[in-house]
């Protein structure tokens, strides 16, 4: 923590990813850049043939390249050959993340209950409130205007961005990242219809359990369970504006893209991937390693593992493509039928 980013050299970077360096090992690296920007003293990467023309700019910088790529010009560009460019970039990005490398500091404007358990090695931003019985482990970084309610626990090394609301009893695991304005632990959409057409509220007594290495996007909402808990398993990645309803369970290493919604008490199997704007109805199960295309709607159990699904209601991916090939020709086929009928 508090690491001087300007001290990183091409040699340092190469060692961190077990790379093979071609060029100047002493070249200082002060940050990351896109390959098109031609920004001096930065680290970038070459991951697709269409960007090859951008490699050979005028500035001194470091470029991550696949081991199979042979550089055309090594005069002022330093190259690091790696087995997998994207994995290497992911590993290196943490060294240039100012938030992940913040110096521990508790703002004088933070409000922290005397009954909260706060490690000495944490950062807490301006106007953040931490209530009684909250537990904040070492290495946690909490930004400005965060609400950490009574009984919340946050595991070591987690980062909570500005405006996040962690409501009563929520449990956050280790090394989680929660982006701005996410709300975790609000009551679910539990309203019971009455005979007169009105609704009575079902008060929620469960909570939300988030395991280790989870990332939750900006403005995402994860509701507490009505009686049991809503559970987000290890390694889950949720995009911005994702909604997880009360009592749902998201399996390990599931990835869900923006504006998707998982209804109450549904279970998403480990390793599944859901595209943007996918809808899942309540009380169903989706088999592990399912891949659901964007804007699909899942209205029943998926029992087969390792399958792709598309459409509303969702059907197998290639069946959907074959069906759509027919559907888009329906006006033409209808006209042909009319002409045949006229004869």
The Cα-based distances of 159 to 98, 138, 337 in angstroms read 12, 11, 63
| CA 53/CA 254 separation, integer angstroms | 36
Q: Are β-strands 165-166 and 147-148 bridged in parallel, bridged antiparallel, or unpaired?
A: parallel
| CA 232/CA 115 separation, integer angstroms | 27
Catalytic one of 161, 204, 243, 246: 246
Token reading at 41: 């003293």
Q: What does the radius of gyration of the chain's CA atoms come to, in whole angstroms?
A: 25
Active site residue 205: no
Q: Is 6 helix (H, G, I), strand (E, B) or coil?
A: helix
Q: Are the C-beta atoms of residues 303 and 320 closer than 8 Å to each other?
A: no
Q: Are the C-beta atoms of residues 108 and 52 closer than 8 Å to each other?
A: no
- List, in sequence order, every residue forming a beta bridge with 274; answer none if it has no partner: 256, 292
CA atoms in the 13 A half-sphere facing the CB of 249:
13
Residues taking part in catalysis: 246
């Amino acid at each position: 923590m508090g690491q001087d980013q300007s001290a990183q050299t091409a040699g340092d970077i190469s060692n961190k990813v077990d790379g093979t360096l071609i060029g100047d090992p002493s070249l200082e690296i002060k940050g990351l850049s896109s390959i098109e920007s031609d920004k001096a003293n930065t680290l970038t990467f070459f991951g697709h043939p269409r960007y090859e023309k951008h490699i050979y700019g005028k500035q001194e910088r470091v470029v991550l390249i696949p081991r199979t790529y042979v550089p055309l010009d090594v005069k002022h560009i330093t190259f690091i050959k790696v087995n997998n460019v994207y994995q290497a970039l992911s590993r290196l990005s943490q060294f240039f993340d100012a938030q992940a490398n913040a110096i521990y500091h508790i703002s004088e404007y933070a409000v922290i209950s005397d009954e909260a358990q706060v490690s000495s090695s944490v950062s807490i931003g301006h106007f953040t409130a931490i209530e009684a019985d909250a537990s904040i482990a070492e290495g946690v970084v909490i930004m400005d205007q965060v609400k950490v309610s009574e009984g919340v626990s946050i595991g070591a090394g987690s980062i909570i961005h500005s405006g996040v609301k962690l409501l009563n009893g929520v449990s956050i695991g280790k090394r989680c990242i929660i982006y701005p304005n996410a709300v975790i632990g609000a009551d679910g959409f539990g309203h019971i219809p009455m005979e007169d057409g009105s609704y009575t509220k079902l008060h929620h007594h469960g909570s939300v359990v988030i395991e280790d290495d989870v990332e939750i996007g900006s403005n995402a909402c994860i509701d507490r369970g009505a009686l049991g808990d809503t559970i987000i398993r290890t390694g889950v990645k949720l995009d911005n504006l994702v909604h997880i309803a009360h009592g749902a369970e998201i399996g390990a290493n599931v990835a869900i893209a923006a504006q998707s919604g998982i209804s109450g008490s549904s279970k998403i199997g480990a390793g599944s991937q859901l595209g943007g704007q996918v809808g899942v109805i309540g009380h169903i199960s989706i088999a592990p390693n399912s891949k659901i295309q964007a804007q699909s709607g899942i209205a029943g159990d998926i029992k087969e593992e390792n399958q792709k699904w598309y459409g509303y209601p969702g059907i197998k991916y290639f069946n959907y493509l074959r069906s759509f090939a027919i559907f888009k020709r329906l006006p033409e086929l209808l006209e042909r039928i009319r002409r045949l009928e006229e004869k």
